[in-house]
């Protein structure tokens, strides 16, 4: 190759590199630039008394509100010792040990270290994957972060070692997260809206911060990002095979503040019950909210505007097939479901939730209805509902077509206006764990 040919290829390459550097610099500045990078590596808080009983008690409440135990504890394992598996489109992650053990946990951390994890998503071990909701926890106050840290440090230490993530290249390289962070993350600080009351602001602080509600109830964008346009508009819970119904004004149109608060603290309400991941969240976390905080959350979510409709994931069913499924589904409903949920779909008290106007039933994605018919479900046991009624499974004795017909009838009766369900959709959930 001649010298002139080499120069010909050199200039385009340099242009590409330069363009990449310009984009990287722009993204770096957009994320907060050098001040953010420096702040994430230095101490930023005053000394805190981690032995203060009042601080520990406050931290316990906040840790419960944030549902820390659900992700950082395996069934029958040591509390907060990590090891829970998370299957994502980018590989398998395992939650970490956050007990005071100095070798495998966070016993060697300082309050500043913990604050950097919560506020910046940066631990002493490097950048964290966004499966850990630092994009939400960044909204926490430094005082609340210190309180949670004090509580965790008061817990018994567990020497359980951390499991190695199983991530393919390039996702197994921590610095690859930097690109995602530059695109989708900026450290934040919750600032009350002066045009709203204290209750509304408290609700927003809990929903956007500790509650990290958008992780399950918002549609996903590129690289599993959470676009503001899909905020609380409903979305599939990554890796779990469940759908988080919309928590915006459209999704909660028929719910009162009292209905929402009741569901959070008991798992049941006159408008519906908590199943699947939501049942876990109520059991481990939300039932421990004070009545004041539950009402604050309900007050806030009732005001969230609907920006985009819920994501629609379905297999088209033509009009003739829909009509046939409806006819078959009606007969099955009267035989299998009407005794509990009533012929008009209105349910019966708190024991059997209504199907008419139920946002989980009419969600853009029908997976919740399919899975509950297939495998059954039970609401969480809480102080407010210690002996919940259960939904029996029908997957052993109903065919995919029968389940599709039943789901179609439920989603399109008594004023419900959701899409029909095909047998092919039902087949997708064979063997999917609950």
- For 337-378, what is each residue's pLDDT tens digit? 999 999 999 999 889 999 998 888 988 889 999 999 999 999
Q: Tell me, what's the pLDDT at 77?
A: 93
Is 167 in contact with 239 (CB distance < 8 Å)?
no
Q: Which structure tokens are listed for 22?
A: 């310009």
- Residue by residue, DSSP assigns 76-145 as TS-TT-B--EEEETTEEEEPPP-SS-TTTSSTT--HHHHHHHHHHSEETTEEPPTTS-HHHHTTS-HHHH
Where does 319-427 sit in CATH, by number?
A: 1.10.760.10
CA distance linking residue 374 with residue 376, whole number of Å: 6
Q: Where are the domains of the chain?
A: 53-184, 198-301, 319-427
Q: Kindly tell me if the per-residue pLDDT of 58 is higher than 80.
A: yes
Closest C-alpha to 350, from 382, 325, 374, 320 = 382
Alpha-carbon distance values, 194 to 35, 191, 204, 210, 255 (Å): 28, 9, 13, 21, 26
Provide mean pLDDT across the span 379-386. 94
Bridge pairing between strands 91-94 and 85-88 = antiparallel
The C-alpha atoms of residue 149 and residue 98 are separated, in whole angstroms, by 10
- What integer pLDDT is reported at residue 283 of this predicted model? 96
Closest CA to 361 of 406, 314, 411: 411
Q: State the CATH architecture for 198-301.
A: Orthogonal Bundle (1.10)
pLDDT of residue 35: 43
Model confidence pLDDT, tens digit, residues 12-45: 655 555 555 555 554 444 444 444 444 444 455 6
How would residue 420 be classed by pLDDT, with cut points 50, 70 and 90?
very high
Rounded mean pLDDT of 290-318? Answer: 85
- Long-range contact set of residues 121-127: C-beta below 8 Å, sequence gap at least 24: 121/181, 121/185, 122/40, 122/41, 126/174, 127/174, 127/175, 127/177, 127/178, 127/181
Q: How is residue 332 written in tokens? A: 């099955």
Angle between helices 400-411 and 319-336 (to 10 degrees): 90
pLDDT at residue number 214: 95
**Confidence bin at 421 (pLDDT 50/70/90):** very high
319-427 shares the fold of 198-301: yes
CA 223/CA 357 separation, integer angstroms: 33
Q: How does DSSP classify residue 365? A: B
Instruction: Name the average pLDDT for the chain.
Output: 88
Kindly tell me the number of DSSP H helices and DSSP E strands found in the chain.
18, 10
Burial pattern 124-133, b for ≥16 Cβ within 10 A else e, equals eeebbbbbbb
Taking a C-beta distance cutoff of 8 angstroms, is the pair 298, 286 a contact? no
Out of 166-180, 264-278, 418-432, least confident range:
166-180
Confidence of residue 4 (pLDDT cuts 50, 70, 90): low
- Compute CA distances 284 → 60, 63, 279, 361, 374, whole Å: 12, 10, 9, 24, 25
pLDDT band (50, 70, 90) for residue 406: very high
Judge whether 87 and 81 are in contact, CB under 8 Å: no
pTM above 0.75, yes or no: yes
In the prediction, which pLDDT does 32 show? Answer: 44
Residue 341, class by beta-carbon neighbours within 10 Å (0-12 exposed, 13-18 middle, 19+ buried)? buried
**Tokens matching residue 142:** 């430094």
Question: What CA–CA distance (Å, rounded) separates 225 from 218?
Answer: 10
The whole-number pLDDT of residue 266 equals 97
The predicted-structure confidence for 196-246, as pLDDT tens digits, reads as follows 999 999 999 999 999 999 999 998 888 888 999 999 999 888 777 889 999
| Closest listed residue to residue 36, CA positions, set 228, 182, 209, 192 | 182
User: Which pLDDT does position 131 carry in this prediction?
Assistant: 92
């Amino acid at each position: 190759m001649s010298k002139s040919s080499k120069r010909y290829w050199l200039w385009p390459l340099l242009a590409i590199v330069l363009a990449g550097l310009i984009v990287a610099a722009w993204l770096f500045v957009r994320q907060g630039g050098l001040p953010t990078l420096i702040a994430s590596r230095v101490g930023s808080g005053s000394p805190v008394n981690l032995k203060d009983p009042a601080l520990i008690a406050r931290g316990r409440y906040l840790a419960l509100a944030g549902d820390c135990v659900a992700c950082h504890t395996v069934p029958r394992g040591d509390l907060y010792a990590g090891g829970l598996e998370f299957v994502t489109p980018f590989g398998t992650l395992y939650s970490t040990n956050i007990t005071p053990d100095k070798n495998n946990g966070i016993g060697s951390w300082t309050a500043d270290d913990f604050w950097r994890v919560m506020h910046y998503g940066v631990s002493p071990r490097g950048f964290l994957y966004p499966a850990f909701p630092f994009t939400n926890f960044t909204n926490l106050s430094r005082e609340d972060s210190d309180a949670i840290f004090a509580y965790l440090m008061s817990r018994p230490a567990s020497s359980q070692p951390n499991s190695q993530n199983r991530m393919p290249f390039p996702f197994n390289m921590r610095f690859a997260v930097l690109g995602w962070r530059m695109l989708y993350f900026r450290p934040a600080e919750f600032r009350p809206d002066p045009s709203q009351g204290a209750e509304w602001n408290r609700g927003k602080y809990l929903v956007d911060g500790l509650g990290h509600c958008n992780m399950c109830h918002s549609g996903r964008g590129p690289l599993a990002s959470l676009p503001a346009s899909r905020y609380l508009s409903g979305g599939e819970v990554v890796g779990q095979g469940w759908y988080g119904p919309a928590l915006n004004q459209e999704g909660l149109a028929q719910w009162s503040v009292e209905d929402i608060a009741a569901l959070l603290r008991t798992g049941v309400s006159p408008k519906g019950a908590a199943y699947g991941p939501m049942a876990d969240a109520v059991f481990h976390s939300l039932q421990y909210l004070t009545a004041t905080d539950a009402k604050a959350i309900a007050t806030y979510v009732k005001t969230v505007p609907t920006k985009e409709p819920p994501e629609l994931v379905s297999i088209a069913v033509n009009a003739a097939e829909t009509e046939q499924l409806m006819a078959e589904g009606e007969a099955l409903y009267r035989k299998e479901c009407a005794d509990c949920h009533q012929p008009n779909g209105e349910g019966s008290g708190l024991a059997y939730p209504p199907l008419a106007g139920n946002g989980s039933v009419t969600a853009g994605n029908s997976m919740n209805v399919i899975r509950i018919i297939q495998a059954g479900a039970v609401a969480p046991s809480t102080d407010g509902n210690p002996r919940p009624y259960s939904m029996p499974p029908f997957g052993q004795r109903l065919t995919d077509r029968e389940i599709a017909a039943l789901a179609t009838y439920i989603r399109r009766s008594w004023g419900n206006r959701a899409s029909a369900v095909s047998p092919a959709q039902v087949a997708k959930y064979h063997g999917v764990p609950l």
